[in-house]
Structure 1
Amino acid sequence: MEKTPVPRVGVAVYILKGNSVLLGRRLSSSGDSSHATFALPGGHLEFGESFDECGVREVKEETGLDIEKTEFLTVTNNPFVNDPKPSHYVVIFMRAVLSDPLQQPQNLEPSKCGGWDWYDWDDLPSPLFWPLEKMIKSGFNPFPV
């Protein structure tokens, strides 16, 4: 008996440094780099976890970076109904700064990510992960005013 898919909650973190944001090259589920998209660090919210706790944990697990001053920015609703394996994500977007600005990101999940780098907000790479691209095209800006 096939289970009906249910929405899941993801937390993504904008880590800002100057006018740059940290993005990683998300590999396809098969590890294929030719279908890689650029995305923020983040992952699934675990049972009982706060958005802040999830953001801090996921950033540490994926990049080795320590962050602080996390704050909620916005939320998006992302049904991936046309994917080969349909899914539906509600994504909580947070903003944070590095605890130590001299830290360098490490690729701690090489089977999922092709590496991390800083990208100028006015010159982002492509292709962007669909929810991130959708957000940016709407005029969203993660930098404090």
Structure 2
Amino acid sequence: MSPAPEIGIAVFILKDDKTLFGRRRSSSIGAYTYALPGGHLEFGESFEECAAREVKEETGLDIKNIELLTTTNNVLSDKVHLVAVFMRAFLSDPEQTPQNLEPDKCEGWVWHDLKNLPEPMFGPLREMLRGGFNPFPNDSK
């Protein structure tokens, strides 16, 4: 029997013309690559609830205006099938500063412009952004 796909929520937190990235420490998916805040969807949880919970757990940030952007279907190996759900959100208070609340899982959080992306980046995220995906609303950058 094949393992079931995992559902991961990743959140583009937008501030001015930047989005928040963190470099993951060892993990089963995306080890030592830059990724968005996020994590696994829990049973019974909405995408928005998962996004707010994971962002708070990892960064201490409160977010608002959480919305679904897109999904990707990624078979990363013969044992890892990840359905990535990409969300967009904004800071509830723009003066908030991200904290590294899970230092065993992440090296820290940094704001990056999409024109100057950190590397190495998590593969599915890198391919999506290099393909021209823009998480910003149409009326902004």
Q: Which residue does 1:98 correspond to in 2?
A: 91
Q: Which residue does 1:39 correspond to in 2?
A: 35
Structure 1 residue 137: Cα displacement: 1.8
Q: Which residue does 2:103 correspond to in 1?
A: 110
Provide the rounded CA distance (Å) in 1 between the counterparts of 2:110 and 2:52.
18
Instruction: Provide runs of 4+ in structure 1 moved above 4 Å.
Output: none
Stretches of structure 1 lacking an aligned partner (at least 5 in a row): none
Q: Which residue does 1:64 correspond to in 2?
A: 60
Match of residue 88, structure 1, among 81, 85, 100: 81
TM norm structure 2:
0.92
Alignment of 1:12-31 (within 5 A): 12-29=10-27
What is the CA deviation profile of residues 50-95 of structure 1, one whole-angstrom value per residue up to 9, with x for unaligned ones?
A: 000000000000000000000110000011116xxx2111011000
Q: Which moved more, 1:54-63 or 1:127-136?
A: 127-136
TM norm structure 1:
0.90
Structure 1: which amino acid aligns with 2:83?
A: V
Q: Which residue does 1:139 correspond to in 2?
A: 132
Structure 1 residue 27: Cα displacement: 1.1
Q: Which moved more, 1:3-12 or 1:49-58?
A: 3-12
Structure 1 residue 29: Cα displacement: 2.8
Provide the rounded CA distance (Å) in 1 between the counterparts of 2:75 and 2:102.
25
Larger Rg: 1
